[in-house]
Amino acid sequence: QVQLLESGGGLVQAGGSLRLSCAASGRTFSRDVMAWFRQAPGKEREFVAAISWSGGRTDYADSVKGRFAISRDNAKNMVFLQMNSLKPEDTAVYHCATRSTGLANDVRISVGSADYWGQGTQVTVSS
């Protein structure tokens, strides 16, 4: 059974940092795009960041560029999101997601194309 389990969320003041982790199990994800999405109350789920299975290519939403960094450890089936200079508008439930791909530098993933989702971890940024 495939599972994605996020951790690392919490309450932080504006300007602070958090590091999210997502542990994948049930099969190897070394040939998957791995990504983070977020969903704020009353809003649609939105893309945050993605990383290719080679680790050589990343993609970020404009709203987080320069503040967030995605990374992965294929040996441990894990993906991480380092979030710095957090803003109140970053408050949301953060979900990790994967999409199988045969391309080493593919970073394409969307809400509609993701194969698996985690349950999410809450990030709250106070002003």
E strand or H helix at 10: strand 10-13
Instruction: Output the pLDDT for position 102.
Output: 87
Q: How many CB atoms lie within 10 A of CB 73?
A: 12
Residue 100 has φ and ψ, to the nearest 5°, of -70, 140
pLDDT in tens, 77-120: 999 999 999 999 999 999 999 999 989 999 999 999 999 999 99
Comparing CA positions, the residue from 58, 92, 90, 85 lying closest to residue 72 is 58
